[in-house]
Amino acid sequence: MNTRDINLLEKAFEAEIKSAVNKSRLYMIQTKSKRAESLVASGLLIKVSETLGAGFTVSGYALTDAGRQAYCTSKRCQ
């Protein structure tokens, strides 16, 4: 896994933590990066969407358990 992959996983991890701390429903990252699609293909991220009030839908990417493990075992998380 290269630095760009780790950066995306880190952003997704941060979004998850911020969501938990702030009790927010937005636990995902939004990106147009093609790397995100390759991380979906490798099972580290999943595509998600959340419908908020008034039918407003937000789409993005969230970590899978494998993605959390990959990020947390990287040197950056330790």
3-20 pLDDT, tens digit per residue, is: 999 999 999 999 999 999
User: Structurally, how many domains does the chain consist of?
Assistant: 1
Residue 42 lies in a domain: yes
Residue 51, both tokens: 């419908």
Query: Is position 77 within any domain?
Result: no
Residue 78 placed within a domain = no
Structural domain of residue 47, as residue ranges?
3-72
pLDDT value, residue 53:
80
Q: Over 70: is that where the pLDDT of 78 sits?
A: no
- The pLDDT assigned to 11 comes to 94
Above 90 in pLDDT, residue 1?
no
pTM of structure: 0.87
Angstrom distances, CA of residue 62 to CA of 37, 54, 58, 73: 12, 23, 12, 18
Q: Helix crossing, 65-72 with 3-22: angle to 10°?
A: 110
Q: pLDDT tens for residues 35-74? A: 999 999 999 999 999 888 888 999 999 999 999 999 988 8
> Phi and psi for 9 in degrees, rounded to 5?
-65, -40
Count of CB atoms situated within 10 Å of the CB of 76:
13
